[in-house]
Amino acid sequence: MDYRKRFFVDPAEKLRLRKLDPSYKGDHESEEAARQETEHYRVKLAHQQALLYAQRKHSVLVVLQALDAGGKDGTVNHVFSALNPQGTTVVGFKQPTPVELAHDFLWRVHPRVPGRGEVAIFNRSHYEDVLVTRVHKLIDKATWTARYKRIRQFETGLADNGTTILKFFLNISKEDQLARFAERLEDPKRNWKISESDYTERALWDDYIAAFEDAISATSTREAPWYIIPASHKWFRNLAVSQVMADTMEALDMAFPKPSVDLAEIQRKYHAAVAEGRERKR
């Protein structure tokens, strides 16, 4: 199944997250059943990154957004661990600093986008400035609507410069979120993730859903598509994200560049050096 088509947010249609099943798992009944396919796409993803890094004509920007406990960190860990750290960056956009707030909302984002040959993963992103700010009434409708336009222009500019943009919303239910909060409470290795805002923000669930629906609908374009990934099953989330990204990169039709040296001459020198070494051992 082509998850690029299935999970793509059509800009011509209004998104309704409540109509999408976060527990969807395709044709696979279990993590074990999907393991081989997931590994296939991880290997494919690693190969495509090697081409990207060597050719240095394109770059890839991945945007991960979700409600709290949606699985952004898990996606980074399980999907993008297939990538070579050389040529890969992960950026987490936290609450803006006073210096960042003194500039326009995209000022802190542009320096973190990937250069040619690079992959950048945004774990939260510039979209926080039309989500959190809206839900907490720090901006009005006119402002967030104007920001949608700015975001579209910003992403179009990146695409025009050779950046392939993939934006994933990791879709979980309110029940999933509560269960994952409980896991954090019970697992000492995840206690550090607990914050006081977990439950206060949870009370704003419907407001966040409305903000995500509007922002995603307004900014899903052919140059910078949004994909709604069912994320109740973490293993399916990893499979879907891996496939979408690997197949998208493959479509760039990249190739390793031709050598910049005379290989025949290099081989001649190599064989001469080997022969010389043998003579010295006699």
* pLDDT band at 110; cut points 50, 70, 90: very high
Tell me what the mean pLDDT of segment 83-90 comes to.
96
pLDDT, position 15? 96
Residue 261 pLDDT: 79
pLDDT surpassing 90 at residue 83: yes
Q: Which residues contact 10 (CB under 8 A, 6 or more apart)?
A: 220
Locate 117 and state its tokens: 């040959």
pLDDT band, very low/low/confident/very high, at 106 (cuts 50, 70, 90): very high
**pLDDT above 90 as % of the chain:** 80
CB 235 within 8 A of CB 23: no
Domain containing residue 56:
3-281
CATH number at residue 204: 3.40.50.300
Find the range with the poorest average confidence among 105-114, 116-125, 126-135, 261-270: 261-270
Band of pLDDT at residue 174, cut at 50, 70 and 90: very high
pLDDT of residue 282: 64
* % pLDDT > 70, the chain: 99
What confidence tens digit (pLDDT) does each residue in 183-229 have?
888 877 777 777 777 778 899 999 999 999 999 999 999 999 999 99
Q: How many domains does the chain have?
A: 1
Q: From residue 39, give the alpha-carbon distance in Å to each of 66, 117, 235, 268.
A: 24, 23, 11, 40
Mean pLDDT of 173-182: 93
Lowest-pLDDT range of 62-71, 98-107, 261-270: 261-270
Report the 10 Å Cβ neighbour count for 176: 19
Average pLDDT rounded to a whole number, residues 153-162: 98
Residue 260 pLDDT > 80, yes or no?
no
Average pLDDT over residues 250-260: 92
